[in-house]
Structure 1
Amino acid sequence: MVKISFFTSFFKNIAFPVGAFLLAMLLWLFVVSGDQYTMMLDLPIEARNLNSQKTYLEEVPGYASVILKGKGRDLFKSYVLQNYSDIKLVLDLDGISQEYEFILNDYFEKNPRKVVIPPSHNVSFIEVVYPNRINIRLDEVMEKKVPIISNIQSLVKDGYLQIGNTQFEPDSLIIIGPKVELNKINEVHTAKDTLFNLSKSNRGTIDLISQNRLIKFSLKKINYFLDVQQISERIIVDIPVKVINKVRGIRVFPSPQTVSLTVVGGVNKIAEIKPNDISVIVDFNSWKLEKNFYTPKIAVPFDILNWKDLSPRTIELGVARESK
């Protein structure tokens, strides 16, 4: 324990300050010196004159590592200001229709003006270290309208339910990118999110997820709406009974001609329901001479939770031939 404490104290109180002082001295000598040095810097790459009908099939690297030469203070200045000055490498894409490979050192040797270094920097370009080449691949630019798919999970409180699916405004968006990549995309998904203990309708904004950086979205976020309502019941009366698959020349009389039942669902949703929104159907194909009463099939709107208490439960069918 004593040895460990001694070495820790020595490094903290002596070795570290001495090392920092020596490093500072070397940096000071480098900056004030008038001698010539070389330094490697990462310079941004700017691709220009892309055909308006084309887009990239592969991303162009954002930076290249290059060697610059100059006096110590000028190189230090370039290093400090590299993110704030207009120093960059330019690739001219004029005339490229599909694919072209830039051998960077050969390209900049033939086109020295494509290495943009402001005169105030007083440094000169020597060579590109990495990457030594950039392959440009282009494709026809297209746009496409696709629907938005929800990754939002809603968990409502007991006694409540969500009416319908999550709604988006707008419900679709425009995506733009290379044709070959757009053909693979038929929908766009939201980010994943879970909403807990919902007892009322909920509005919000959520990110859209892009799996391909070459594809651009007309929207980065989307507005959503979840219709959450308290569960309630309502009796619907005077629902008409319909007979399907009637036979020509035969008259069919359902009795009674209307029924009632109880619907279970969101309190606001069931308040909107009208008798004609519910289908009570008897199929005449199931008619038999010795059978008088038939159980109808019930169809309610999809966003109704359930139905019960059909009255009456069966329908009598009266059958007679039409008079000629």
Structure 2
Amino acid sequence: MNKSQLQNYLNWQSLGMRLGAVGLALLLWVFVVSENEYTMVIDMPIEARNLSAQKAHKKEVPEYAQVRLKGPGRVLFKTLLLKNFITNFKLVIDLDRISEEYDFYLNEYYERYPQKVVFPPSYDLEYIEVVYPDSIHISLDEYMVKKLPLIAPVRIKTAPGYTMVGKINLFPDSITAAGPREVIENMTYISIIKDTFMLQEFDLNVSLKIDMQTRSLVEYSQTTILMHQDIQSVSERIISEIPVKVVNVLPNLRLFVNPTTVALTVIGGVDRIADIESDDIIVTIDFAKQWISGKNYYEPTVKIPVDILEWQDLSPRNLELVVTKDIN
């Protein structure tokens, strides 16, 4: 196909689309302005009402049913356009006398209770039948309320030279879930939607949504949670006069450590390490595990707070341990 043939083909395609659009518009115009009656299948919202306060749905009720309606063309067209915005346009299912399980056969139900097919008074519509579904199964359970802790499956990556200090804080740290007993009693926590935050240099303060996709039948006391994570630039600081302790000492022995204190460098968030005291760092020699007869110098074990990145440059690295018998 050469360039000229391609251009002619595209022109014919464009012309066909235009003629089709004009034809469709003309058909819609005739349909809308016509006073003739037509039938049309339209999605109608389903409202399950009068549920007992002591009951909850075990299974979801369909949101819509496909209903065949009859009316003037202009009314049907208006209904089709505005059906999602009309409050009194719905199919009502009354759950007042339902205790656990019940099947609503919709055409039989609305033939018996035509007043439960609700149209706006100004809409000249006639209900014909429900096309789909033909029935709705209602399954109810005891209503249960439970307070549960929140978890935050979020990934936070700091920018180079920065670090997270402490744990993620959630406000609140627990909320209430309510719904069918068989669901609520098996829940042990409520999760926030997974999220990722990259190259953070400042404290993270965000509002996050709880994950409701897997628990559609559950209601929550609130759905938005505040999350805070302390983020600081990395620095280092020398901590001195850290006391040395000897643990797991055998009876009838007296132990002396020389020197009795050590110094080291801690690395972590600049504000966090500024608050570190010598007593916050635990330096120990485990006599039961480390002592060897004839050995005088031992390297101690160092334990730092969990929100400190690391320590280095222990001074002195080896300590003299003098062991004597207690003569008393």
Relative to structure 1, is the Cα distance of residues 195 and 18 closer, same or farther in structure 2, using a 3 angstrom cutoff? Answer: closer
Residue by residue over 1:244-278, the C-alpha shift from the partner in whole angstroms, topping out at 9 and shown as x without a partner, is 11233332222222222221222111111111111
* 8 Å CA contact retained: 1:255, 1:315: yes
Match of 2:80, SS? helix
Alignment of 1:113-262 (within 5 A): 113-142=115-144, 143-157=146-160, 159-182=161-184, 183-184=186-187, 186-196=189-199, 198-212=200-214, 213-262=216-265
Moved more, 25-34 or 293-302: 25-34
> Matched residues in 2 for 1:5 and 1:166: separation?
63
Which residue matches 1:307? Answer: 311
Counterpart of 2:63 in structure 1 is 62
Deviations 1:218-267 (A, max 9, x none): 33333222322222221211211111112333322222222222212221
- The residue that corresponds to 1:281 in the other structure is 284
2:301 maps to 1:297 = yes
Establish whether residue 320 from structure 1 lines up as the match of residue 327 from structure 2: no
From 65, 70, 93, the equivalent of 2:95 is 93
Q: Is the 8 A contact 2:148 2:188 kept in 1?
A: no
Q: Give the distance between the partners of 2:221 and 2:169, measured in 1 at CA.
A: 18
Identity %: 43
Distance 2:100 2:50 in 1: 14
CA drift of 1:139 comes to 2.2
Give the CA deviation at 1:281. 0.8
For 1:254 and 1:16, locate their aligned partners in 2 and report how far apart those are by CA, in whole Å: 94
Aligned to 1:103: 105
Distance in 2 (CA, whole Å) between partners of 1:263 and 1:151 is: 27
CA distance in 2, matches of 1:21, 1:199: 58
SS in 1 for 2:8: helix
Matched AA of 2:47? E
> d(CA) in 2 for partners of 1:231 and 1:74?
69
Shift of 1:129: 0.2
Structure 1 position 187, deviation (Å):
4.0
Residues of 1 paired with 2:178 and 2:151: CA distance? 15
Q: 1:301 corresponds to which letter in structure 2? A: P
- 1:3 Cα deviation after fit: 4.7
Tell me how large the CA RMSD over aligned residues is: 2.4
Matched-pair contact (CA < 8 Å) for 2:147–2:174: no
The TM-score normalised by the length of structure 2 is 0.87
Change (3 A) 1:275 1:25: closer
SS in 2 for 1:120: coil
Change (3 A) 1:109 1:300: same
Shift of 1:160: 2.4
The structural deviation recorded for 1:25 is 4.2
In 2, distance between residues paired with 1:310 and 1:7? 83
Tell me how far apart the structure 2 counterparts of residues 211 and 10 of structure 1 sit (CA, whole Å).
48
**Which has the larger displacement, 268-277 or 218-227?**
218-227
Report the residue type matching 1:312 in the other structure. P
**1:18-57 to 2 correspondences below 5 Å:** 18-57=19-58
- CA change 1:26–1:227 in 2 (3 A) is closer
* More deviation, 86-95/201-210: 201-210
- Distance in 1 (CA, whole Å) between partners of 2:65 and 2:325 is 91
Q: Secondary structure at the match of 1:121?
A: coil
User: Which deviates the most, 47-56 or 181-190?
Assistant: 181-190
**Which stretch shows the higher mean deviation, 44-53 or 301-310?**
301-310
Which letter does structure 2 place at the counterpart of 1:146? P
Tell me, which stretches of 5 or more residues in structure 2 are unaligned? Answer: none
Residue 270 of structure 2: aligned partner: 267
CA contact (8 A) 1:191 1:207 kept: no
Alignment partners' CA distance in 2, 1:120 and 1:162: 62
Cα 1:239–1:65, aligned 2, differ >3 Å: closer, same or farther? same
SS of the aligned residue for 1:140 comes to strand
Aligned length: 321
The question of whether the paired residues in 1 share the 8 Å contact of 2:192 and 2:208 is answered with no
AA of the residue aligned to 1:179: R
What SS class does the counterpart of residue 248 from structure 1 fall into?
A: coil
Amino acid at match of 1:44: P
- Three-state SS of the structure 1 residue aligned to 2:122 is helix
